[in-house]
Amino acid sequence: MAAPTVNRQILLAETPKGKLDQSHFRLIEGSVPVAGEGELLVRTRLVSLDAANRAWMQGATYRSAVEADSVMAGGAIAEVVESKAPGFAPGDLIFADTGWQDYAAIPARSATKMPKLDPMSHLLSVYGIAGLTAYFGLLRAGRLKDGETVAVSAAAGSVGSIVGQIARIKGCHVIGIAGGKEKCDWLVRELGFNQAIDYKAGPIFKTLKAAAPHGIDVYFDNVGGDIFEACLFNMNLHGRIACCGAVSQYDGAPSPHGPRGVPGMIVVKRLSLQGFIVNDYDDEREKALTDLESWVASGQLKVQEDILDGLENTPKALIGLLAGENRGKRMVRVA
């Protein structure tokens, strides 16, 4: 096979001031990069789409901001084409921030070697950042105890759908919060949530109180804003809130705000709020993967994926994710 000569790249053409749309991106063609000493030349196979992609455009977070006229950042499963670093060989699969492009030259130290399994997409969903975020956020940051009442927002998304299932496996009463009747029905019928609340159907506070008359012990927050506030005021004494994301604030929200009454409510109810990212728990990764694999093999944990094809469709896929189009983990198959 002839060596590749063209590398398609999707750039962030300009920093969005309001809602993200396709005009904020530009597809270009360039030459395939050359791997230097200590680097890998990799071919992108599957690009992960995450709400955090939008947050990176707003400024530095746990990583540097994505600047205008640069390749859009994003994690991906990629295949090693050429290795100039020990421990990697052509054909190996890795996870790394390759960016939205066909090929990338990356430092080997930034790549995590991945096993080969079928389907490969599970490396981005249940055995990737989505599954590990759900596992550590619920069990470590949320300090879940068997039999508790758990609420999770963005419950039909990549992380939330796994959070709810893990809570159910642990014998908890699970309340999912999602947008639309169809998603809510799916959460109960297919994933085994005890209840699901459609936040689009009206004010959520009273609905949530009726769903959890004895209060919420653990809230897994993916959205921030009004839903965070409603859950906060329904928390039990010594409740725990795992803060994973704030997607309601990312994409041009007209008047983004945090929940009101936070200090007093935290004191009165003696609540614990913990923000986290998945890398905080790297030393427990193998144990988490063992548990996740066991639950999938036994049928207790169902894997839902939403895969689009074509690098050129990556901007559209992210915009759709921010609008809540997806069910489960959204990704783009590049090759």
Check residue 67 and report its DSSP letter. P
224, two tokens: 């921030």
pTM > 0.85: yes or no? yes
**Are 280 and 16 within 8 A, CB to CB?**
no
Tens of pLDDT, residue by residue over 180-214, are: 999 999 999 999 999 999 999 988 999 999 999 99
Main-chain dihedrals φ then ψ at residue 223, nearest 5 degrees:
-125, -30
146 and 29 part of one domain: no
Rounded Cα distance, 108 and 165, in Å: 35
- Nearest CA to 130 out of 100, 99, 103, 166 is that of 166
- Nearest CA to 42 out of 51, 50, 55, 33 is that of 33
| CATH value at residue 102 | 3.90.180.10
Tell whether the torsion through CA atoms of 325, 329, 333 and 334 is positive or negative: positive
Main-chain dihedrals φ then ψ at residue 26, nearest 5 degrees:
-145, 135
pLDDT given at position 3: 72
119 and 234 part of one domain: no
**Are 202 and 128 within 8 A, CB to CB?**
no
Is the bond preceding residue 203 a cis peptide, omega within 30 degrees?
no
pLDDT given at position 68: 93
144 and 258 part of one domain: yes
139 and 262 part of one domain: yes
State which residues form the domain around 135: 129-279
Name residues of the chain where pLDDT drops below 50: none
- 288 falls within a domain: no
**Are 144 and 167 within 8 A, CB to CB?**
yes
Q: What number of CA atoms fall less than 13 Å from residue 101's CA on the CB side?
A: 26
Rounded Cα distance, 64 and 250, in Å: 16
**Which amino acid belongs to residue 99?**
G
147 and 188 part of one domain: yes
137 and 257 part of one domain: yes
pLDDT given at position 259: 62
118 and 133 part of one domain: no
pLDDT given at position 17: 87
Provide the pairing of β-strand 75-83 with 103-107. unpaired
CA 258: distance to chain centroid? 21
